[in-house]
Amino acid sequence: MALSLAALLSVLFIQWDLFVLSIRTFLFAAALLMTAPETLQQIFTSEITQFWVAALYLLIAIVILCAILFKRLSGKAAESTSKKNELSLGKISLRAFMRQKIALIASAIIFILYSVAFLAPYIAPFSPYDQQDFLVTAYQPPLSRIDALVLKQPKTLEIPMQKGEGSVIWMANTLISDFRKLKTRNEPHAIRFVNSVHEEARNAVYRQGMRTKTIPLAELAGPQYKVTRTFLLGTDQYGRDILSRVIYGSRISLSIGFLVVLISVSLGTVIGVSSGYFGGWVDAVMMRIVDVLIAFPALFLILIIIATFGNSIYLIVITLSFTGWMGVARIVRSQVLSLKEQEFILAARSLGLSDMRIIFRHLAPNTLTPVIIAATLRIGSIILTEAGLSFLGLGVQPPVPSWGNIINEGRDSLLNHWWISTFPGIAILTTVVCFNLLGDGVRDALDPRMRGQS
């Protein structure tokens, strides 16, 4: 945990300028939303929200980790004097989980993966959509270093400055200026990648592939116009940085996995509790629906829905959510069938408590153990399903990066340019294995028999 806090603080220190700009644009945008929403609508781009999310996550994560470390350090004395029979069930389960070394390592890796996904605008060295000078940058192997010329020409952006006077116009222009800095990541000048460059008279002569071109030195950004860029994981056929695309692709894959599991587990829990508690025709109808959906091939149903209605990210989330709740519903139903005959449920009924209160106050909390285990184990399978759909061209569409479509882009050149598909494949493998190990650790921690063995 201390290492995670140190890593987040180092990101904050290195990208302090971007962090300040993100917070300032967020506050200015909120002020414009309250005073002049039509002005904000003219200058706002959804691209900037990723910087806001990154800044808020960085701030919240650092505060939470500091609070946890402070609580852990200050509570060591009290923890050493506490007795085991005085601990709650949650603390006992947490202690049992903390003894699962492999699960702890897996959870730390998952935390790193989600942190990388949230902080993608701060961590990624390039934009995942940059395709400039692919004659020079295409199919570069890992650890390639390529020279580039820094031009005086600024990077082109579409947002024009507002004309007029007043606090609203000043705030809007400040917001536009900050938007430009964020979108260019504080590198306002355009660059041009080259194979080689030398000076002749007052010109710079450079080579791009088989072409030799000339540019006046006056059009370059000062005497130190030559820089070198490193592509740690190489580039694809369009010259895009694989590391940046893998980092940005983690946002899609991990967020889809989390959202799908959240929706499907919630839906399965509600249906399972209702079916097991009310019984009768409610149970019969719901379980027959579950039987039909389980018998129907899930992948075939997903392909039909996507082929019929399109393949947007939102449709993928909804489709995967409504085809993955059946197993959770059956698990919860079996738990409820055994719980509703227990003495505490009979006592609640005899006291005249409503069905809704019995379900949400007594039944649902006691079914959380198998639900949590099923959720942690299912995230990995959802990520694999989304990657498979993207690999088939039915998931997230290029140029938006996801791990699946990055692998798909490199499958035709796997032997000669192996790095395009290898690194997103390693990311998928690492994520799925870590979620499975985390699920095993949670299951062992919540199982009283396994706690007794440990």
Domain spans of the chain, in order of start: 134-174+181-231, 242-453
Most confident region among 7-11, 83-87, 446-450 by mean pLDDT? 7-11
Residue 117's SS3 state is helix
Return the structure tokens found at 195: 């194979």
| Spatial distance between the Cα atoms of 273 and 363, rounded to a whole number of angstroms | 8
Query: Is residue 53 scored above 80 in pLDDT?
Result: yes
Mean pLDDT in residue range 291-301? 81
The confidence score (pLDDT) of residue 34 equals: 86
| pLDDT given for residue 83 in this prediction | 47
**Which of the residue ranges 16-20, 368-372, 411-415 has the most confident prediction, judged by mean pLDDT?**
16-20
Q: Is the peptide bond between 448 and the residue preceding it cis, with omega within 30 degrees of 0?
A: no
Residue 434 to residue 242: CA distance in whole angstroms = 22
pLDDT at position 227 is 87
Smallest CA-to-CA distance from 383 within 129, 120, 110 is with 110
Which residues lie below 8 Å from residue 99, measured CB to CB, with a gap of 6+?
Answer: 454
How does DSSP classify residue 160?
P
pLDDT of residue 89: 60
Domain 242-453, CATH number (from 3.30.70.980, 1.10.8.60, 1.10.3720.10, 1.10.287.1080) = 1.10.3720.10
- Three-class SS state of 374: helix
Which pLDDT value is given to residue 450?
55
Give me the chain's average pLDDT, please. 83
For 128-182, how does the pLDDT look when each residue is reduced to its tens digit (9 = 90+)?
888 778 888 989 999 999 998 888 877 766 667 777 777 888 888 888 888 888 8
Mean pLDDT, residues 302-311: 78
- Predicted local distance difference test score (pLDDT) of residue 419: 92
Q: Give the contacts of 182 (CB within 8 A, at least 6 positions apart).
A: 18, 21, 22, 25, 48, 51, 121
80 burial via Cβ count (<10 Å: 0-12, 13-18, 19+): exposed
Give pLDDT, residue 371: 84
Q: What is the pLDDT of residues 253-276, one digit of tens each?
A: 888 888 888 898 889 888 888 888
Judged against a pLDDT cut of 60, whether residue 359 lies above it is answered with yes
